[in-house]
Structure 1
Amino acid sequence: MTHEELEAFRNRFNEINESKEPVRTNRLSILMTDMEQTYNIPNFYSAAFNYHNPQVIKLYRQVSYARFFEGVK
């Protein structure tokens, strides 16, 4: 993981966050997938991954929480 990679993902997140729905949430989901592939983020909670990659998981969670699911119960 390089600082530049993570910064590029942050910039992408900020850019996407200014979009309108539903495009915004779709693009955020794609961003999450790209982060999963780049950083090998596990499908299930991993304390070890989170410990060794705090900045990655912090941004990943921000992206995840920013998505909007209208009508999801």
Structure 2
Amino acid sequence: MNAPGGFAYKQRSDGTVIITHHGRAATTLRGGRAAKFLAEVDDDPQQVMARWTGAYKIGNERTAKNHPRNQRR
């Protein structure tokens, strides 16, 4: 399944799920984790795949970027 957000997943016949990001394997899920992912992926596939791979932004990037500790001098 391909989508415009860059994430896609493929379910193999042995139950393994491979999540890719822009064509590169991001993570492989097996067993119970794969089943849990497949039950959850119907809601918002891009968001769910980003969360399962850990490749998502949590909203505080701008705050951290502007923090004095992170300013280059």
TM-score, normalised relative to structure 1: 0.28
The structure richer in strand per residue is 2
Instruction: Name which one, 1 or 2, has greater alpha-carbon Rg.
Output: 2
The structure richer in helix per residue is 1
Structure number with higher relative contact order (C-alpha < 8 Å, ≥ 6 residues apart): 1
